[in-house]
Structure 1
Amino acid sequence: MAFVQIVDCKTSRIDDMNRLMDAWVTQTQGKRTATHAIVGTDRADNAHVVEIVEFPSYEEAERNSHLPETDRIFHEMVALCDEPPVFTDLDVVRDEQLNKAAVTRLFEQISAGNLDVILDLCAADYHDHDQANAIDTVGAEGFRRECAGYRAGFPDFAFTIETQLADGDQVATRWTWRATNTGEYNGMPATGRAVEATGTTTFRMADGKIAEGWWNWDNLGVMRQLGIIDV
């Protein structure tokens, strides 16, 4: 079970607090067990500072607290505070990464043939960059039509999410795409052949919607498997 520690303090020396955090990150390199750390200031009171540190488990947090570097930095942090900091220890019972959840739903629903989900999850002015296309697709409706074209040529196509990483407003997904070409696609008659491709898509989120996407995938390999090219 993941574990989060919240440190709540009052200080007017936020720059010194940030330098202290930099020092701790450097000095504990290769030894610390913390996986994520955030320092924030209260918009209503700039002297109110909250630090949030995430660990894989409470036991890993205990290991981290016993590092001499952590102990030293802690005492320096207390010296920067106007009053003793308050600690809150939390066992994480739910961790919902909303951007990843939206992207996962997009892949799953497109695979299920529910292409209207694109209009729900993507911004109206969604901008799609696909290295297989000569011209970018702009607009959620345009992206839906493009996916419908693939669905017509490959009615059973489905994505399998292999790995997924989120960083800020972007979500990167490495996937495998499998399908059978039983319908006409781009003016080409059906071949009846099964195809498989791997690729990576990075989506940018804005205001809770998927706003932009970059697709890099083995379209050349798909054409080879279909017998369209022989290279």
Structure 2
Amino acid sequence: MSTTAGVSASELAVRSIRIMADGDRADFDALIHPDAVNREDDVEPPACRVGGPAGYYATALWLRTAFEGLAYEIHHVVANGNLVAINSTMSGRHVAPFVVYTPAGAVDTVFPPTGQTFAITQSHWFRLEDGKVVEHWANRDELGQAKQLGWVPPTPAYLFRMARAKSRVKRAM
């Protein structure tokens, strides 16, 4: 599959992951199709649930706020036509509340910062159209992340911090 400016489908998909950690809005406009859909946005903030570059950029800001030093190490990339699969590791340090939402957009769970680092495997799937990402799916080791960050098993003190953090987030909305 050809893409714009001589960039291969694999390169485009890899860059679309890397901009989650370091890209500015112009990067998202260049790589994400205006009609793009993120199939993983059902627990993300409402701002992330819009289509196109704006939603993807909002997801990046959501992750960067909670996880300092967010980075992606790419292990494998496989492309077949307009589909690209990537095996990667995401890492960072939990420095701010990580807020998870219900499908209806209400605050579900708030994980107060632990200061801990994590590194988890992820598989990302992309569909490309017109030389841009038009669809994204992912599988993540969320249990591994929760264990590394001390979210599970939760201590009574951390459960109290979670409840207090959730109350603060709800009041701030």
TM-score (norm 2): 0.70
Please tell me the residue identity of whatever aligns with 1:100.
S
Pick the aligned partner of 2:40 from 130, 134, 139.
130
- The correspondence of residues 1-231 of structure 1 with structure 2, limited to 5 A, is 98-111=8-21, 113-116=22-25, 117-130=27-40, 133=43, 137-139=49-51, 140-186=53-99, 187-230=110-153
Larger Rg: 1
Q: CA deviation at 1:183?
A: 2.0
Judge which range, 101-110 or 197-206, deviates more.
101-110
Give the paired residue count: 135
SS of the residue corresponding to residue 120 of structure 1 reads helix
Runs of 4+ in 1 over 6 A off after TM superposition: none
List runs of 5+ in structure 2 lacking aligned partners. 1-5, 100-109, 155-173
SS of the residue corresponding to residue 227 of structure 1 reads coil
Question: Do the aligned residues in 2 keep the contact of 1:131 with 1:216 (CA within 8 Å)?
Answer: no
The whole-number CA distance in structure 2 between the counterparts of 1:180 and 1:208 is 33
SS of the residue corresponding to residue 212 of structure 1 reads strand
Instruction: Tell me what 1:4 maps to.
Output: none
The whole-number CA distance in structure 2 between the counterparts of 1:138 and 1:168 is 26
Question: Do the aligned residues in 2 keep the contact of 1:129 with 1:137 (CA within 8 Å)?
Answer: no
Greater RCO (Cα-Cα under 8 Å, separation 6 or more): 2
SS of the residue corresponding to residue 224 of structure 1 reads helix
Q: CA deviation at 1:155?
A: 2.0
**Root mean square deviation of aligned Cα:** 2.3
Q: Deviations over 1:168-195 (max 9, x none)?
A: 1011000011111122221432110001
Question: Do the aligned residues in 1 keep the contact of 2:68 with 2:94 (CA within 8 Å)?
Answer: yes
TM-score (norm 1): 0.53
The whole-number CA distance in structure 2 between the counterparts of 1:196 and 1:211 is 27
The whole-number CA distance in structure 2 between the counterparts of 1:108 and 1:159 is 6
Please tell me the residue identity of whatever aligns with 2:95.
T
